[in-house]
Structure 1
Amino acid sequence: MSAKADVQLTDFSSIFRLDGKVAVVSGGSRGLGLHAASGLLQAGCSKVFITSRKASACEEAVAALNALPNLAPGAKAISVPADSSKLSEIERLVKEVQKHTDHVDILFANAGATWGSEFEKVDEKNGWDKVMDLNVKGVFFTIQKFTPLLTKRSSVESPSRVIVTGSVAGIGVGSIGAVGAYSYAASKAAVLHLARNLAIELGPRHILVNGIAPGFFMSKMAAGLINAQGGEEELGKQSPNGRVGRPEDVAAAVVFLSSRGGGHVNGDTIVLDGGKILGSNRLEKL
């Protein structure tokens, strides 16, 4: 005699799908932002708005994204150039996005800048204000100004998502010495903590806020530091998993946080460095 098993299974076939979702990616014309935008589109987003300061870079990125062979029918990337360090430009960005949609489901506030020099040579305008204005102030006001669109269709069962780009430099110690990135490290610590605060502020409005903290990924911003340390292969040997970051690493993290699979993650940070930041605290050599 066999007893009927009391087992109930849930359909997880679409747990990481983003079909029909609308996303905005700041700093989306290259590097981590472009990789994330590609992941969002390939996971089913219907519209992904690409914004960065240079119009030509946005257009090139959008052309490449729209040429992807596996997009959903009608899905497209849309270029909206804007300088995310200026409040007036952020407000204009929101208005431009509203010409195409009445809501936003996903905001990846990724635009950022860095500056490296000896401690004594850090200047106020370029070495400090420029970095902090874009990496912290710009992120805060981008989220603030997009919140009305993010709450338009959000609910307990389908919350909107905000993801900010921090860095392992905002968790451990960043670059010091001849190419000290003091304002960058401080800004990335600030933006990750901002995400924790906004997770509590915006959670009741059905907006989940999380951060990613990448280690080294080859990009225009990171190329100088990577090459100074012997290149990607040599730098990868310093990580427990033996490599630096790849495009799919950041794309997958952003898709996860944006999907139903990430629906109970709020106020957290996903570190994307292969364990290097943990290994650097090792007391003895293997």
Structure 2
Amino acid sequence: MADEARQQVQLQDFSSIFSLKGKIAVVTGGSRGLGLHSASGLLQAGCALVFITSRKAKACEEACAALNALPGLQPGAKAISVPADSSKIEGIDALVKAVSGYTDHVDILFANAGATWGAPFGEVPPESFSKVMDLNVKSVYYTIERFAPLLLKNASLANPSRVLVTGSVAGIGVGSLGKQATFAYSASKSAVLHLARNLAVELGPKGVLVNGIAPGFFPSKMANELMKQAGGTDALSKSIPNQRLGLPEDIAGTVVYLCSRAAGHVNGGTIVLNGGGEWGKTKL
């Protein structure tokens, strides 16, 4: 009976459950906003290499300089600038080639690059609708597809690689309407979250977990104008149950969790980062 009792209270060591020590990550759209905060979290959680990519080389270099100046990183850990245009297949291929020049595998891919467009119903230019759908959905698929060989290289069911995609609460509920309606953005974010579910089923048995993140309002270059039109930061904060907008640590912590051993049984999921606002009147 004593042996049985001891077995029932036997504990495991969870001290490193959120550690990303030695992992290699790629963050698209990583030079600013949510992508940069996520990259900061990945490095501080122990990643050895974090590749930062966006269209503008200067922005990538500035981001990497800031990331590499962070205190307490693992010895030798660093962020590396690999500018590329993820909206084009040739840009994605160039990105994969550049990353492959440094490493033969990737443990974490955060497909975060995205765009939006606002216009009233009946005034949305077809080329703008296409641009948003192409970058927010099609390029995400092809980024994951092209990185698959690197993601699968060291992946296993016991130690899976991770893919994250950035959705939005606008892809779960209703986004902004009126003068700055975001029809294409809302549709694209709903589509990319469902794309993640399909890829989770496809890649899960091969050792790659795929999940989505659906942020609400986080102060950023993309969101600031929408926040003004929605009443400003004070009004938006009051409409959210926990009475505030998103903070950098909210996105960084979620990304670290989903990429760590702690989320080893999370696949095809969507984590909503909106303080409960999706149940109220908050709109994107």
**Taking structure 2 as the reference length, what is the TM-score of the superposition?**
0.96
Distance in structure 1 (CA, Å) of the matches to 2:184 and 2:192: 12
Structure 1 gap ranges (5+): 282-286
Distance in structure 2 (CA, Å) of the matches to 1:277 and 1:14: 33
Distance in structure 1 (CA, Å) of the matches to 2:92 and 2:157: 28
Structure 2 gap ranges (5+): none
Correspondence for 1:118: 120
- What does residue range 71-150 of structure 1 map to in structure 2 within 5 Å? 71-126=73-128, 128-150=129-151
Does residue 241 of structure 2 align to residue 240 of structure 1?
yes
Correspondence for 1:70: 72
- What does residue range 177-196 of structure 1 map to in structure 2 within 5 Å? 177-196=178-197
SS at match of 1:77: strand
Letter in 2 for 1:99: G
- What does residue range 137-286 of structure 1 map to in structure 2 within 5 Å? 137-280=138-281
Q: Deviations over 1:63-100 (max 9, x none)?
A: 10000012111000000011111001100100000011
Q: Deviations over 1:208-231 (max 9, x none)?
A: 000000000000000001122333
Correspondence for 1:32: 34
Distance in structure 2 (CA, Å) of the matches to 1:157 and 1:257: 15
Distance in structure 2 (CA, Å) of the matches to 1:229 and 1:122: 20
Q: Deviations over 1:47-76 (max 9, x none)?
A: 000000111111110110000012111000
Q: What is the root-mean-square deviation in Å for CA atoms of aligned residues?
A: 1.2
Offset, 1:171: 0.4
Q: Deviations over 1:207-255 (max 9, x none)?
A: 0000000000000000001122333232111001101100000001110
Match of 1:57 among 46, 56, 59: 59
Letter in 2 for 1:214: P
Q: Deviations over 1:10-62 (max 9, x none)?
A: 00000001000000000000010000000000000000000001111111101
SS at match of 2:222: coil
Identity over aligned residues, as a percent?
Answer: 68
Letter in 2 for 1:163: L
Distance in structure 2 (CA, Å) of the matches to 1:81 and 1:276: 35
**Taking structure 1 as the reference length, what is the TM-score of the superposition?**
0.95
Letter in 2 for 1:141: Y
